Amino acid sequence: MLNQTSVTEFLLLGVTDIQVLQPVLFGVFLAIYMVSVAGNGVILMVVISDSRLHSPMYFFLGNLSCLDICYSTVTLPKMLENFLSTHKAISFLGCISQLHFFHFLGSTETMLLAVMAFDRFVAIYKPLRYTLIMNHQVCTQMAVTIWIIGFFHALLHSVMTSRLNFCGSNHIHHFFCDVKPLLELACGNTDLNEWLLHSVTGTIAMGPFSLTFLSYFYIIIYLFFKTHSLSVLHKSLSTCASHFMVVVLFYAPVVFTYIRPASDSSMDQERIIAIMYSVITPVLNPLIYTLRNKEVEGALRRAIRRRL
């Protein structure tokens, strides 16, 4: 898997090179990371422990919380370390490993959001057959399948990237190891790697996004034509509102980063956009789901009462 290269480590240049901002950014991102882990951890604990939340919707929500904890852990601890360090190095193997787990968890989340949209579609379109269609075995198989697909999608990128030759600069203009910044440092032809990035990763991103969009489109059309009560319509749509907010927050920056061609002038933009989907989205997910979901709020209150 390892390449024929003289580079044994990379230097992550991070979010900014302004030294006076480093301690401030350390405090900000440390707080974000702690809130993200704590918030998603609480949701995961509540979903597992409260029998009233043992349904397909919350099974997938538990998967999402687990993903978000791991997803932010792939990038944030190293970022925090580099804020306080003068030598912002990461080993070659560490870099490839970070790339692998970032794409593994990220691609799994894109597919999970599509599965969650499909779950809401079945719940609204076929309410009487919902428990039959989305039974525990089906939900488990769907979850396992998207985790496996995500792993092998990431393995493709990590193997192909590790086989490149790096004979020049080892300075990565990013706060974590990703395919696009590494391709800019590679010597030789990277056409195949770029094609894989835009075609395979593009498919992994746009396929679930299209399925998610179609699910919500059919939900809205179905409700408008079948529901004559505005209150029932509002209640039905509100069950999907929190999920739709998560979808927009996650897909928009991902599509912007991996679908469009790379350019030298876009590196600063890409770092900011990467912060959106790798740092901000995981910390917002528990807030969105708890603030807009009465069942999760009720489960949290019951959990607190049991411990008091």
pLDDT tens sequence across 143-199: 999 999 999 999 999 999 999 888 878 899 889 999 988 998 888 888 899 888 888
Burial class of residue 58, CB neighbours in 10 A (0-12, 13-18, 19+): buried
What are 35's two structure tokens? 């809130």
**Beta-strand runs (E) in 83-232:** 89-91, 171-172
Segment (H or E) for 10: strand 9-12
Cα separation, 223 vs 221, in Å, equals 6
Mention every residue, 6+ apart, whose C-beta is less than 8 A from residue 156: 196, 200
- Which of residues 244 and 283 earns the better pLDDT score? 283
- Mean predicted lDDT score pLDDT of the chain: 85
pLDDT tens digits, one per residue of 70-100: 999 999 999 999 998 888 899 999 999 999 9
Torsion sign (Cα): 259, 194, 179, 66: positive
**What is the percent of the chain with per-residue pLDDT over 90, rounded to a whole number?**
36
Would the pLDDT of 223 be above 80? no
Write the DSSP assignment of 90-133 as a string of letters: EEHHHHHHHHHHHHHHHHHHHHHHHHHHHHHHHHHHSGGGHHHH
pLDDT at 146: 96
Instruction: Give the neighbor-by-neighbor strand order of the sheet with 89-91.
Output: 89-91, 9-12, 171-172
**108-126: average pLDDT:** 90
**pLDDT-derived band at 263, boundaries 50, 70, 90:** low
pLDDT at 264: 46
> What is the amino acid identity at position 126?
K
- Do the beta carbons of residue 164 and residue 96 sit within 8 Å? no
Cα separation, 154 vs 301, in Å, equals 39
Q: Which of 157, 203, 204 is nearest to 182 (CA)?
A: 157
pLDDT tens digits, one per residue of 17-35: 788 888 999 999 999 999 9
Would the pLDDT of 68 be above 70? yes
For the chain, give the longest Cα–Cα distance. 69
Residue 88 — φ and ψ, nearest 5°? -90, 55
